Amino acid sequence: MSEVKRQAIHQRQTVFDAYVREDGLFDIEARLTDVRTYDSMDVDRLPIPTGQPVHDITIQVTVDDQLKIHAITSNMRNIPTHECRQTQPVLQKLVGKVMGRGWRKAIAEAMGGVEGCTHMRELLANMATAAYQAVPIYRRFYEQGPESGFDLNEPPPHLNQCKTWKLDGEPVRRLYPQFYISPVQDDAVEPTP
């Protein structure tokens, strides 16, 4: 961290919450706020007092166990211009999509460029990882018991998606030995004459 004296001027917060519903579906909520430490103005030159959010945007997505979207809503409590609200209807293009592989592409196709809102796209992109942390983990560990999370017949979707979960890595060998692939050893290769 910087040892140079500094003054806070802006704070962006994003929060993701997940809820299990009584109908068996799940709600994933994302909220983004931007707050400045000084008086400013919005796009229409209306005052934004110190501490009042420039952005306060919430998206709620209802998903099933496969993270397929059944419903999506949004609330724009604070925005810098009223045109921002015109992007809300395009969210409906995501109903029926799955928050998994290809999710960012689906967001771009549904609400990329001038069709959507930069901040909503940012929230949506990260909602998938929040949904994954919530839904399948809840089903495996909470409902079926702590040990059930590792006794699987098919690899969970997070395997081979990052350094920690590479198929030839130590965590996979330890926790998911059924999906472990031994690393190729350079010295095991016969030299060609």
Q: What is the pLDDT along the chain (193 residues), one digit of tens a residue?
A: 779 999 999 999 999 999 999 999 999 999 999 999 999 998 889 899 999 999 999 999 999 999 999 999 999 999 888 888 888 899 999 999 999 989 999 999 999 999 889 999 999 999 999 999 999 888 877 777 666 656 678 887 778 888 988 999 998 999 889 999 998 765 555 555 5
Host H or E run for residue 173:
helix 170-175
Residue-range definition of the domain harbouring residue 165: 154-188
Does some domain include residue 2? no
Is residue 166 one of the residues assigned to a domain?
yes
Q: Domain for residue 174, yes or no?
A: yes
Tell me, yes or no, whether 97 lies in a domain: yes
The CA angle 25-29-30, to the nearest 5 degrees, is 150
Q: Same structural domain for residues 26 and 96?
A: yes
Please give the backbone phi and psi of residue 68, each rounded to the nearest 5 degrees, phi first: -80, 135
Do 179 and 101 fall within a single domain? no
166 in the same domain as 142:
no
Residues 106 and 49 reside in one and the same domain: yes
The answer to whether residue 170 sits within a structural domain is yes
Number of structural domains (the chain) is 2
